[in-house]
Amino acid sequence: MSDVQLALLILGLIIIIIMIIHNWAQISSHKKRKEKLNATSSTISEDNDPLFQSAEFEINDSTLSNESSNAEGSAKIISENLPDGIFPEVESVASITFVNIQNSLQPLFYDKALGINGLRIYVRNDNDIWATGQALEEGIRYNQILIVQQLVSRKGKLEHESVNSLIEYVNEVKTAVNGALFWLFNEEIGVESKRLNDMCREVDRALTLKVLPKSDTAFHPAALIDFFKSSSINRSGNEAHRLLNPKNENESICDIVNLSGKPLEINQEAFVQGIIFKMDVPNTKNITHAFNEMIKIIREACSQLNGTLVDVGGKPMNDDYISKVYVYLKGVEQKMLAKKIIPGSELAKKIFS
């Protein structure tokens, strides 16, 4: 072997050794980085990952829970101290408290209050019972005032002038007693009134169904008398006949009247050319259940009187049509419940009166 070949062999061995050492160093370095990353990732979670939270704001579940609990507690305290007959869902309520006890109605500007439609005033001294209406007599002692305004009715929303009159009145009373004003509910009077009115327009419906004779011009008197003997149909005095809820006879489902909308006179000389079943939808409890009971009695009427069911426009109603009406009424019921207005409740009757 020549000197040149020996030199090349030695050089090759040196290069191989250098490559082995380099590869070992790279592998060792990579292994250390991997171990470091694994150690770091084991401590990262949704609680400390900056992608989920900012280090500047620490969220304390117990604090949130306490704040929520405090808010609910405050609302409960306010509600428990309100007099009966106030409905925060549909009324604006202003509270005025003051140090100097009043014993005169003059600061209430009662004549002006009477000029604001739907306005009510409540007063009390400390923790006494709230007084309103006829109980507000000269000499009554009070250091708290509640001014309550209904925001919506079947007449519609509060007009701009009415809203301004209410605000002016509240501020005038506040100044007269040198009190502190706090709006308990619905301070944005105009906004809330419009919102509630939009909802009311969607659900305020009267369901009118007719039963007409199939062939004759009028129902046979004897058949009418037998039909109106039903235990679920009641008449008080000269009022219209009413279909009662079989589970609660104090609940009326619908009125039963003649085609002119007047009470039916059922006797041997009766000449009845048609019967109207009319439901005031938002003022009826359990709307869909009531509708089923209404359809049940209508089917009985059609059978006993040889009649046919039609809608208010005279269009015959088959089972498919009836099902569509049921679905529509279910939607009305759900819209009311979503606004915490139970159909047929005292609150519903207050709005839809």
The band of 336, judged by pLDDT with boundaries at 50, 70 and 90, is very high
Whether the per-residue pLDDT at 138 is higher than 80: the answer is yes
More confident residue, 62 or 326: 326
Which is more confident, 246 or 7?
A: 246
Mean pLDDT over 79-91 rounds to: 85
| Whether residues 347 and 217 fall in one domain | yes
> Which CATH number is 91's domain given?
3.30.1400
In a domain, residue 101? The reply is yes
Do residues 189 and 128 share a domain? Answer: yes
pLDDT at 48: 36
Domain final residue pick, 147, 172, 200: 200
Domain boundary among 200, 231, 258: 200
Reply yes or no on whether the pLDDT at 60 is more than 80: no
Collect all residues with Cβ–Cβ distance below 8 Å to 240 and sequence separation of at least 6.
255, 256, 257, 262, 263, 264
274 burial (CB, 10 Å; 0-12 / 13-18 / 19+) is: middle
pLDDT at 37: 45
pLDDT for residue 324 is more than 90: yes
Q: Check residue 23 and give its pLDDT.
A: 67
Residues 249 and 313 in one domain: yes
Q: For residue 52, is it within any domain? A: no
Number of domains in the chain: 2
Are residues 229 and 277 located together in one domain of the fold?
Answer: yes
Residue 196 covered by a domain: yes
Residue 75: what pLDDT?
52
The domain that contains 238 carries what CATH number?
3.30.1400.10
Q: Tokens at residue 47, please?
A: 């609680």
**What is the structure's pLDDT at 91?**
94
Q: Give the mean pLDDT of 12-20.
A: 70
Band the pLDDT of 145: cuts 50, 70, 90.
Answer: very high
Degrees, nearest 5: CA angle 195-196-197 = 90
Higher pLDDT residue, 126 or 2?
Answer: 126
Q: Same domain, yes or no, for 211 and 344? A: yes
Max Cα-Cα span within the chain: 144
Q: Where a domain ends, among 167, 183, 200?
A: 200
- Predicted confidence (pLDDT) per residue in 202-231, tens digit: 999 999 999 999 988 999 999 999 999 999
209 and 346, same domain (yes or no): yes
pLDDT class of 63 with cuts at 50, 70, 90: very low
* 260/301 same-domain check: yes
* 188 and 220 within one domain: no
Q: For the stretch 49-79, what's the b/e string if a residue is b when 16 or more beta carbons lie within 10 angstroms of its beta carbon?
A: eeeeeeeeeeeeeeeeeeeeeeeeeeeeeee
pLDDT surpassing 50 at residue 166: yes
- Residue 53 counted as domain residue: no
The confidence score (pLDDT) of residue 227 equals 95
Q: What is the rounded distance in angstroms from the CA atom of residue 331 to the CA atom of residue 203?
A: 9
Q: What percent of the chain is predicted at pLDDT more than 90?
A: 63
Region 78-93: mean pLDDT is: 85
Asked if residue 194 is part of any domain, the answer here is yes
Does residue 62 fall inside a structural domain? Answer: no
Q: Are residues 131 and 195 in the same domain?
A: yes
Are 190 and 232 contained in the same domain? no
226 and 233 in contact (C-beta within 8 Å)?
no
* Residue 26 predicted with pLDDT over 70: no
Kindly state the percentage of the chain with pLDDT values over 70: 79
Cα 131 to the center of its chain, rounded Å:
29
Find the mean pLDDT for residues 20-29.
68
Give the pLDDT score at 131. Answer: 93
Quote the domain boundaries for residue 291. Answer: 205-351
| 233 domain-assigned | yes
Q: How far apart are CA 318 and CA 313, in angstroms?
A: 14
Q: Are 119 and 233 in the same domain?
A: no
Residues 182 and 256 in one domain: no
pLDDT at 9 exceeding the cut of 80: no
Residue 132 falls within a domain, yes or no? Answer: yes
pLDDT at 56 over 80: no
What is the token pair recorded at 129?
């019972």
pLDDT single digits (tens) 282-305: 999 999 999 999 999 999 999 999
